[in-house]
Amino acid sequence: MEIIETRTTPIEGQKPGTSGLRKKTHVFMGPHYLENYVQSIFDGIGGVDGKTLVLGGDGRYFNDRAAQVILRMAAANGAAKVIVGVGALLSTPAASNLIRKRGTDGGLILSASHNPGGPEEDFGLKYNGPNGGPASEGVTDRIYAATQTITGYKIAEAHDVDLSAPGTHRIGPMEVEVIDPVTDYAALMEELFDFDALRALFSGGFTMTFDAMHAVTGPYAKTILEGKLGAAAGTVINAEPKPDFGGGHPDPNPIWAKPLVDRMMGGDAPDFGAASDGDGDRNMIVGRGIYITPSDSLAVLAANAPLAPAYAGGLAGVARSMPTSAAVDRVAEKLGIDCYETPTGWKFFGNLLDAGRATLCGEESAGTGSDHVREKDGLWAVLLWLNILAKSGKSVAELMADHWQTYGRNYYSRHDYEDVDAGVANEMVEELRGRLAELPGQEHGGLTVESATEFSYDDPVDGSRSARQGLIIAFEGGARAVIRLSGTGTVGATIRLYLERLETDPAKLDADPQDALAPVIAAAESIAGIKERSGREGPNVIT
């Protein structure tokens, strides 16, 4: 094997965000861009000599080419083995599972998740550690530091590895094991859930639509739902992964998965609707006539998880990201278990899961997961919902109504202002940060500010501190607005405004969230002036 050592210089901006490095595809395809970053990952984790890695991605444009480059670089850097999915495909949770199951030293996942794909759209790459989870901030800091001092990278001269079918190949001494991307994941799901009860559910006439959004979950959902569980053919729609996701945003929310939500609200809706994102870690749950917010979904799953075999013994604890609603906190309180509040991004759940302190975790951004892997997991959430429906005999709407009657309803919404000028967005946050101390006691839009703080997280397991994780404005009476800037976008800045208000009056549980939250929305605008500063009439995405 001939190793080519190429000289290079640091490329600006290779700083991993909330979930790895995401850039426009053409940026990733630029000279040395991918290579610099891959070498920096290798250097940042102390080299890959003798190590075994997992490799796969969501199938977006450039996924296949990037995988071949990474294989040649892993070989040149002395890796012993790389396990890669057929077609270089692996959903994010399936990659996490493989890293754990095969005891590897980590893995590289090619994805920009819910961002659109294609030559004009987005690409991404992230490193997950030996626990199967996204690299901690300590590790991403070392990777970023490596990108700033890099002087060269190593790549093997070799032909493309045939990734079209399972088999074993070599690049020099390095072994490349090509595996079916679905098999191990499907086996894991079968261990966690009551597949007999799910088969009985479907054979009893239960109907469902799963929108794979032309992304990576198609083959997984087909194998599990239609293959193993006997759901009718055609249950999984948009099942074929495409490099441009059929031209859409593979983001499972009422905006980008509108056709499914419309179908669920119509006269011929199936019993259950669900969707997942580009890399298979997000989920959307819709019942007949009712959309379930991710925050509520987490709470319902926590309250009912013991109906599934894997969680029959109860939950050790739960965790949610700070901007996620406190619906799950109320469940934890009733169960008498711990509830942790972490910064946005799945990497912060890793230590809690590893330490056995949390069993279920979730984020308001359609991410739910458990200690079965170290990523959020879209299909897992769908299967847990199905298991709960099968065992409780209730419909989605009944389950949700019962839940709100018991715990009250945390009305919740997120308003996104996308592609705002980065300078304007940073200045807005900066300025508001400077005013936090003077806000308590002030009245805005009829609400009185109780406290105004900036969220910092002290990891209870390793003691590390993550500062500046979002501004929280709490109002008297329990409502809250949170403002933070996205760390996954590739153009300009995205301002996220998260709004929440608890309602416990049993007669007021069926309002439209935008109406129920109107005072909080008005107060947040009065305080932060997002519309005014961004020059927008309103948010461009409301979930």
User: Which of the residues are catalytic?
Assistant: 113
- Residues 385 and 396: their CA atoms lie apart, in Å, by 9
Total residues at interface with ligand VG1 (CB under 6 A): 18
Among 200, 487, 504, 509, binds ligand VG1 (CB under 6 A): 487
Among 36, 297, 344, 359, binds ligand VG1 (CB under 6 A): 344
Q: Looking at 108-116, 322-330, 402-410, 489-497, which segment touches Co ion (CB under 5 A)?
A: 108-116
- Residues 260 and 265: their CA atoms lie apart, in Å, by 9
- Chain centroid offset of residue 129 CA: 17
Residue with Cβ nearer ligand VG1 (169 or 484)? 484
Quick check: 378 and 283 in contact, CB under 8 A? yes
Residue with Cβ nearer ligand VG1 (104 or 365)? 365
- Residues 360 and 369: their CA atoms lie apart, in Å, by 6
Among 77, 140, 488, 534, binds ligand VG1 (CB under 6 A): 488
- Residues 516 and 297: their CA atoms lie apart, in Å, by 19
Choose the one of Co ion, ligand VG1, none that binds residue 18, judging by a C-beta under 5 to 8 angstroms depending on kind: ligand VG1
Where are the extended beta strands (E) located within 129-264?
A: 152-157, 167-171, 174-179, 208-211, 236-237
- Chain centroid offset of residue 539 CA: 22
Largest CA distance in the chain: 73
Among 263, 320, 496, 501, binds ligand VG1 (CB under 6 A): 496
Among 35, 194, 277, 500, binds Co ion (CB under 5 A): 277
Residue with Cβ nearer ligand VG1 (116 or 181)? 116
- Give 193's Cβ-side CA count (13 Å radius): 29
**Per CB under 6 A, does 346 bind ligand VG1?**
yes
User: Angle 326-433-13 (CA atoms, 0-180°, nearest 5)?
Assistant: 95
Footprint on residues 476-505 left by Co ion (CB under 5 A):
none
* Chain residue at closest Cβ approach to ligand VG1: 113
**Per CB under 6 A, does 58 bind ligand VG1?**
no
Choose the one of ligand VG1, Co ion, none that binds residue 415, judging by a C-beta under 5 to 8 angstroms depending on kind: none
Q: Looking at 117-125, 272-280, 460-468, 529-537, which segment touches Co ion (CB under 5 A)?
A: 272-280
Residue with Cβ nearer Co ion (122 or 277)? 277
Quick check: 120 and 87 in contact, CB under 8 A? no
Q: Which helix (H) or strand (E) holds 4?
A: strand 2-7
Choose the one of ligand VG1, Co ion, none that binds residue 345, judging by a C-beta under 5 to 8 angstroms depending on kind: ligand VG1
* Chain residue at closest Cβ approach to Co ion: 113
In sequence order, the 6+-apart residues with CB closer than 8 A to the CB of 346 are 19, 133, 134, 281, 361, 363, 367, 369, 374, 375, 376
Tell me the two tokens of residue 106. 């980590």
The interface mask with ligand VG1, positions 270-289, x = CB under 6 A, is -------x---xx-------
Phi-psi region of 191 (alpha: psi -120 to 50; beta: other; left: phi over 0): alpha
Query: Shortest gap between Cβ of 428 and ligand VG1 (angstroms)?
Result: 16
Query: Shortest gap between Cβ of 283 and ligand VG1 (angstroms)?
Result: 10
Q: Looking at 162-170, 246-254, 281-289, 389-397, which segment touches Co ion (CB under 5 A)?
A: 281-289
Taking the CA atoms of residue 308, residue 314, residue 316 and residue 322 in that order, the dihedral angle to the nearest 10 degrees is 60
Residue type, 65: R
> Which residues would be at the binding site for ligand VG1 (CB under 6 A)?
18-19, 113-114, 277, 281-282, 321, 344-346, 363, 365, 367, 486-488, 496
- Which residues of the shown chain bind Co ion in the complex (CB under 5 A)? 113, 277, 279, 281-282
